[in-house]
Structure 1
Amino acid sequence: MTHTSKIKIADIFHNTDPSLDRQLLEKADHCRRQHLGSAVYPRGLIEYSNCCRRNCFYCGLRRGNSLIRRYHLQREQIIELALQAYDAGYQSICLQSGELSSSKEVDFIADVIRTIKGYRSKNSGQGLGITLSLGELTYKQYRQLWEAGAHRYLLRIETSNPLLFQKIHPPEQSYNRRLECLDALREIGYQVGTGVMIGLPGQSYEDLATDLEFFQAKDIDMLGMGPYIPHPDTPLARQKTEFIPDAFTTTIRMLALARILMPDINMVASTALQSIHPDGLKLGLKAGANIVMPVLTPEDNRKDYMLYANKKFSNFERLKHDIHEAGYELTLWQWGDSPHYFKRQGLLTTDYAPTGDSTCSLRSRI
């Protein structure tokens, strides 16, 4: 991304003209339909543990939060939830937890993955697609989980501004270490996802433009972004630093710009987006998102997996209704892998951005 393009993107965030949002959504929707069609793929989200060794200043699961009840699902519980999702046609799940990097914990989840991957439905022989979101691990541990059968990994950078990264994390957490983990995942062969929070204290529109540049430079396959929603039991929630005034609208613009700039990646309509606005899902899809993550975590544990306050949940039928109403199709029995991953691996010859086609380029007027 050129310096001029970054200025232009920052200007888009500063712009208060309501017609701009309509134009952005139209352009993003066109790009997504042109490159990915109308399919929306579900990733059944199993939040199997809220135990975490980290102490991030923004997260309700931080180890310093003594006000939440900690839990860790048993092996059989996780496997049963995964197989129920598979039999319902989800085809892909996401296993997520707080960050635990002990050998015992990684061995545990590797065993769970192998067991799930060994399951075959009468309808399909490929088994469940598995995404992981477990935080920073060692190269060896990432490879262990890859060899067990996981093939996607989401590790959010949260912000590509190293100084802002340090302000929202304790000193023992390193921006460079996060980058090393993303590089390791890519080298091993994962479909790599990352993302940022939008509306962080002290974050600027110029930071967000740089975030988009970072996603392109890292050549990511998946993107998960959402508005920053404070959790009352965290240090960041008590900061009085200036916020971006409308995190929801800015998030929608970020999604739309990401889809225009990276038309063949997978992009999530986050739970946070749906939690902060009644039409969050529909607008997220209009902005180019093609992945949803229905929560499969047992109801008794959901209230204890609160990364942020007032997390909302939609049941499967409601999710399906909203997707259809927005003009898209909830697509079951398919993995829905990122086309960009196969393209960068040289496994696809389709050109997702034909030369001279400006419909997915910021060169054309918005």
Structure 2
Amino acid sequence: MWIINGRFLTQGITGVQRFAHEIIRELDNVVKPREYKILVPKNIVYKELKYKNIEIEICGNLEGHLWEQLELPLYVKKNKGQLLNLCNTAPIINPGVIAIHDIQTKVHPEFFSKKFALWYNILNYFNIKNSKKIITVSEFSKNEIIKYYGVSKDKIQVIYNGWQHMDRIKQSEDILNKFNIKTGEYILGVSSLNPNKNFKYILELAKLHPEYKFVIVGKKNSTIFKEIIVEELKNLIWTDYVNDEELKSLYASAKAFIFPSFYEGFGIPPLEAIACGCKNIFVSDTSCLSEVFEDSVSYINPKTIKKLHFIYTKNSQNILKKFEWKVSAQKIKNMLNRLTI
């Protein structure tokens, strides 16, 4: 039996958790009962979540990293299972198969607190070394893992993210009224105060475009990321957390979407924006982004701030054909089947 590390069910959704949720949702349609099981600690957030063929079992008394390093591998060993980890972390001993979305803490430790970067770099070292197979979400990330950890390319399989989850979400126009913003009159960014997300670029861009409101979606997390001073501007709106329905409405109604990140393993937000019909997408010309988005977006230098020129990219919708959760889940299933034999 494949046992899925369900620690992500105790967390909110970022791109990493989205990958896990959507892959499991699709796996549930193609696996047999008792072939897969999700093991989760007691502080599960999604208590009402149920699948047709994949059982969810709550196990142990610990939480967080302690649960993941102690109780999870003990359960796997006792039940003679094989472990699948979809969200960057796994037990150091016998991690099984792990999805590592990027190695940002290794390449850019300056973007994080020293404690956070140290812990994740230790985890990455042992998880990459001891895993049976590594999943990552772009050729760029695959090459980075090979470069920094000396792993054989045959150990790593690239499996892309998808966007189809946006089709299941209904828009909530209430968010526009809440912040007094109108369709086509604002520029949207999905960001955090992680220096990697380059929030300062959006801040400076807002000064260059006083005719537009700039709406920033994301949570501030000073415990993980180095302190950044957020300047107050009249045309800058920070929404903090929004739900999926509100986010879809913001994507669909924006004049443009901007993603000035320095380093990404994939970059789901621009793909979501395209899927929701946003016609002007601007992303950095760095890391994996040209691999993922090809000619479907406009590219910006994240270190050079210039006024935006709104040019609708005709090929934007074509890029959606490249990515599908169903296809990605089937690739993972095929890979796991080969490991089981």
Please give the range of the TM-score, normalised by the shorter of the 2 chains.
0.3 to 0.5
What TM-score do the two structures reach when normalised by structure 2?
A: 0.35
Q: Which has the higher contact order (CA 8 A, sep 6+)?
A: 1
